[in-house]
């Protein structure tokens, strides 16, 4: 238990390392994946299995957790002796999970013991914010200082990612059908930035090599100004992520960079095959 006696809850899209979860006593609330008429807990089916089903035109959708799942996670921490709880969720612009977490809080006998924060991020960005929150609970002198530090950290980074099949972005309403069709025909790879809950197409390239060049240049811009942190996530294979990691290590000595795990299956449903995402921020 950290010195501020603050328990932590996250949702399953964060894909935080299992050993870290256990060591820091973090509770995970799982989202659901609906495949045809069957419902699975996030993580019970692999990204590869999901894409195989989608290729067979089997309907695959996702669902936010029921509020009672969050309520149970909060109560378990309070029962274990934590005096308060901080819950972090995937960006509210991507999922209704933030609302479910707040509804779960209101189900408690004393809702004031729980604070729910929208990370305004996802995948490796949310994972990094979890790591920083743990650091704050263990090193800062008061609960108020922990909350202030987390909110400041939340504003210091963004996600940059690319996908191979633009039609998934069309289905999610993020891109027009005409743009998606033309992009796929021309083999255009959009580079998107997700910053404080808002998604924008930032750049367009035509090869994985150019994806890496662009990402390296973006890291360089930030590295010239601040102590830079980079985290890398991927959908099915780590090849492109490893190439990017090698380029950063060769180009910049003082960038903290590491390869995270595959993105969660819930996020994979919406991103598609061969997706690569990075969190780019600073402490």
Q: Has residue 82 got a pLDDT over 90?
A: yes
What pLDDT score does 185 carry? 45
What pLDDT score does 123 carry? 93
Reported confidence tier of residue 174, pLDDT bands at 50, 70, 90:
very low
Instruction: Write out pLDDT tens, residues 234-248.
Output: 988 889 899 999 999
Q: Has residue 274 got a pLDDT over 70?
A: no
What pLDDT score does 237 carry? 83
Query: What is the average per-residue pLDDT within 208-222?
Result: 93
What pLDDT score does 203 carry? 84
Reported confidence tier of residue 182, pLDDT bands at 50, 70, 90:
very low
Residue 192 or residue 227, greater confidence: 227
Query: What is the average per-residue pLDDT within 75-85?
Result: 98
103: CB partners within 8 A, 6+ apart: 67, 70
Query: What is the average per-residue pLDDT within 117-124?
Result: 96
6-30+65-154: CATH topology is Rossmann fold (3.40.50)
What pLDDT score does 175 carry? 53
Q: Give the integer Cα–Cα distance in Å for 190 and 203.
A: 6
User: Which residues are 282's β-sheet partners?
Assistant: 228
Reported confidence tier of residue 178, pLDDT bands at 50, 70, 90:
very low
Which stretches does DSSP call E strand in 46-167?
60-63, 84-89, 114-118, 157-162
User: Which residues are 189's β-sheet partners?
Assistant: 205
State residue 234 phi and psi, 5-degree precision: -150, 165
Reported confidence tier of residue 180, pLDDT bands at 50, 70, 90:
very low
Give the global pTM: 0.91
Domain range summary for the chain, segments of one domain joined by +: 6-30+65-154, 157-282
What pLDDT score does 125 carry? 96
What pLDDT score does 273 carry? 72
What pLDDT score does 117 carry? 98
* DSSP letter assigned to residue 27: E
Q: Has residue 255 got a pLDDT over 90?
A: yes
Q: What is the DSSP code string of 79-97?
A: HTT-SEEEEEES-TTT-TH
- Would you tell me which CATH number, out of the four given (3.40.50.300, 3.30.300.20, 3.30.1180.10, 3.40.640.10), belongs to the domain 157-282? 3.30.1180.10
* SS3 category, 122: coil
State residue 271 phi and psi, 5-degree precision: -90, -40
Burial 130-167 (b: 16+ CB within 10 A, else e): bbbbbbbbeebeebeebbebbeebbebbbbbbbbbbbe
Q: Has residue 154 got a pLDDT over 80?
A: yes
Query: What is the average per-residue pLDDT within 61-71?
Result: 96
Query: What is the average per-residue pLDDT within 208-231?
Result: 94
Query: What is the average per-residue pLDDT within 119-130?
Result: 96
Q: Give the integer Cα–Cα distance in Å for 181 and 261.
A: 30
* SS3 category, 156: coil
Q: What percent of the chain has pLDDT over 70?
A: 91
Spatial strand order of the sheet with 84-89 comes to 27-29, 6-11, 84-89, 114-118
User: Which helix (DSSP H) or strand (DSSP E) does residue 56 occupy?
Assistant: none
Among the ranges given (15-24, 41-50, 168-177, 261-270), the one the predictor scored with the smallest mean pLDDT? 168-177
Name the residue with tokens 């189900």: 107
């Amino acid at each position: 238990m950290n010195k501020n006696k603050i328990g932590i809850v996250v949702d399953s899209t964060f894909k935080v390392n299992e050993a870290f979860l256990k060591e820091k006593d973090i509770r995970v609330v799982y989202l659901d994946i609906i495949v045809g008429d069957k419902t699975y807990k996030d993580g019970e089916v692999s990204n590869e299995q999901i894409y195989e089903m989608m290729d067979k035109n089997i309907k695959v959708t996702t669902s936010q957790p029921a509020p009672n799942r969050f309520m149970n996670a909060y109560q378990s921490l309070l029962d274990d002796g934590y005096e308060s709880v901080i819950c972090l969720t995937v960006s509210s612009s991507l999922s209704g999970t933030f609302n479910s977490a707040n509804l779960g809080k209101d189900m408690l006998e004393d809702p004031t013991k729980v604070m729910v924060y929208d990370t305004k991020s996802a995948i490796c960005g949310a994972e990094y914010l979890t790591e920083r929150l743990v650091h704050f609970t263990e090193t800062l002198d008061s609960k108020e200082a922990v909350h202030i530090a987390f909110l400041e950290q939340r504003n210091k980074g963004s996600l940059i990612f690319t996908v191979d099949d633009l039609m998934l972005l069309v289905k999610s309403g993020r891109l027009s059908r005409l743009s998606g069709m033309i992009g796929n025909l021309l083999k255009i790879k959009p580079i998107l930035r997700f910053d404080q809950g808002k998604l924008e197409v930032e750049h367009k390239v035509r090869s994985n090599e150019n994806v890496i060049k662009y990402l390296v240049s973006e890291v360089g811009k930030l590295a010239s100004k601040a102590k830079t942190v980079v985290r890398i996530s991927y959908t099915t294979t780590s090849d492109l992520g490893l190439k990017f990691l090698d380029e950063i290590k060769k180009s910049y000595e003082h960038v903290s960079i590491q390869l995270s795990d595959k993105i969660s299956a819930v996020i994979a449903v919406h991103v598609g095959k061969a997706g690569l995402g990075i969190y780019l921020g600073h402490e």
